[in-house]
Amino acid sequence: MSKRVVITGMGAVTPLGLSVQESWESLLAGKSGAGTITQFDPSGFAVRIACELPGFKVEEFIDKRDARKMDPCTHYGMAASQMAWKDAGFEDGEYDADRAGVLIGSGVGGIQTFEAQHTVLMEKGPRRISPFFIPMMIADMPSGAVSIELGLKGPNFATVSACASGAHAIGVAFHTVRRGDADVMVAGGAEAAICPIAVGGFANMKAISSRNDDPERASRPFDAERDGFVLGEGAGIVVLEELEHAKARSAHIVAEIVGFGATSDAFHITAPAPGGEGAARAMKEALRDAGLAPGDIGYINAHGTSTPLNDSYETAAVKSVFGDHAYELATSSTKSMTGHLLGAAGGIELIFTALTLESSVIPPTINYDTPDPECDLDYVPNQARETEVTAALSNSFGFGGHNAVLAARRFEG
């Protein structure tokens, strides 16, 4: 018999704040995390804006000597995981470490380390490459480091599916607990890709916004004048726990995860399938897995990247799945404020979805000024909305045609 899976802990470092609460408050206030890049000199780049973390201090989470052996991607994943584990409130003896695991996704892993060590190779030769280069760079290291830090010895690996990585990680972790292979899973995504080679690469493929003179208004999902996403960084981590396990220790339950859908477009390396066909199948699969009807859903946290094709095709996908109900449910993009956290997006956006269910407040899509005839749904424009939501979806779609959709429900004891 399938077990029920609930969220009992959450942690986040985002461009809107260095905690879940700070990020959530900024989100509901409609605050943008975008600004001119400060981590390197962006002059000469076609795009000079990003959503950076505000004042992150790694030494508050990791010993400085250890931190030097980790990429910032791992720093962020470790910080958010520590917060999530503390939020879950485990006491000694309340869990079996052999049945508690970690599953953290990342789209590009340690790209800052890769860039820095390639410079060392070119300027100083191969003997000067750091012996920590490989473990700093590989995308599984946030998951591995968190497992070591927390002493969790259950399932431990990473998902890599571009911008769907965090959602895939949570979905696989959800199924792991539901089928009884673990009692507790720490899951989500981490990313730290604001560096010259990544910004230059995304800019040259015309994926990111070039509104350099107005960064706070650059991310504008579903708006007719959108011209690309704004690159973000950070991590979003949840603690998933089997319901009876959580109840036995009187844990606070934020929301229940009830379904996961994963599909492939099998179409193009970057462009989504026409009409959002693959995304629609993922949403249908999440609903089927959850035992929910389309009319049960009151909110969708959209992938909503602010790119021309994604937003119009995601809109088409929602309409194909929900029919007339598509116009009655709220569909907002929190990327309008956080920017696009790539592999970490699914983690932080599930947290926002869970908080929507718990608080009955839907975050807005900011910078929505000029309606697009192809994007004609209720995007909760520019202001948060108080309304009861009992079930919701969180959409994540990645380069390569990867689609991951999570279904969550307000917890009813």
Q: Is the pLDDT of residue 249 over 80?
A: yes
Q: Let me know: does 179 contact 2? Beta carbons within 8 Å.
A: yes
Q: Let me know: does 107 contact 162? Beta carbons within 8 Å.
A: yes
User: Which element (helix H / strand E) includes 36?
Assistant: strand 35-36
Q: What is the pLDDT averaged over residues 172-180?
A: 98
Q: Let me know: does 241 contact 177? Beta carbons within 8 Å.
A: yes
| Residue 191: strand, helix, or coil | strand
127's CB contacts (< 8 A; 6+ apart) are: none
Q: Is the pLDDT of residue 45 over 90?
A: yes
Nearest partner of 172 among 162, 183, 185, 191, judged by Cα: 185
Q: Which two tokens stand for residue 58?
A: 């790694």
Q: Which two tokens stand for residue 180?
A: 């009884």
pLDDT computed for residue 106 by the predictor: 98
pLDDT computed for residue 24 by the predictor: 98
Distance CA 121, CA 144 (A): 27
**Domains in the chain, CATH or no CATH each:** 5-248 (3.40.47.10), 260-409 (3.40.47.10)
pLDDT computed for residue 1 by the predictor: 73
Q: Which two tokens stand for residue 187?
A: 């899951």
- State the catalytic residues: 163, 303, 340
Distance CA 159, CA 165 (A): 5
Q: How confident is the model at residue 192 (pLDDT cuts 50, 70, 90)?
A: very high
Q: How confident is the model at residue 413 (pLDDT cuts 50, 70, 90)?
A: confident
pLDDT in tens, 12-22: 999 999 999 99
Q: Is the pLDDT of residue 60 over 80?
A: yes
pLDDT in tens, 257-289: 999 999 999 999 999 999 999 999 999 999 999
Distance CA 50, CA 199 (A): 9
Q: Which two tokens stand for residue 152?
A: 């969790």
Distance CA 22, CA 16 (A): 7
Q: Which residue has the tokens 């973000």?
A: 232
Distance CA 301, CA 355 (A): 11
pLDDT computed for residue 166 by the predictor: 98
Nearest partner of 190 among 165, 209, 168, 170, judged by Cα: 165
Q: How confident is the model at residue 89 (pLDDT cuts 50, 70, 90)?
A: very high
Average pLDDT, the chain: 97
Q: What is the pLDDT averaged over residues 285-311?
A: 98
Q: Let me know: does 209 contact 310? Beta carbons within 8 Å.
A: no
Question: Is the Cα dihedral 37, 165, 90, 25 positive or negative?
Answer: positive
Q: What whole-number percentage of the chain has pLDDT above 90? A: 99
Q: Which residue has the tokens 């943008």?
A: 32
Distance, CA of 71 to chain centre = 18
User: Which element (helix H / strand E) includes 101?
Assistant: strand 100-105
pLDDT computed for residue 410 by the predictor: 98
Distance CA 255, CA 392 (A): 11
Burial class (CB in 10 A: 0-12, 13-18, 19+), 72: buried
Q: How confident is the model at residue 226 (pLDDT cuts 50, 70, 90)?
A: very high
Q: What is the pLDDT averaged over residues 145-152?
A: 98
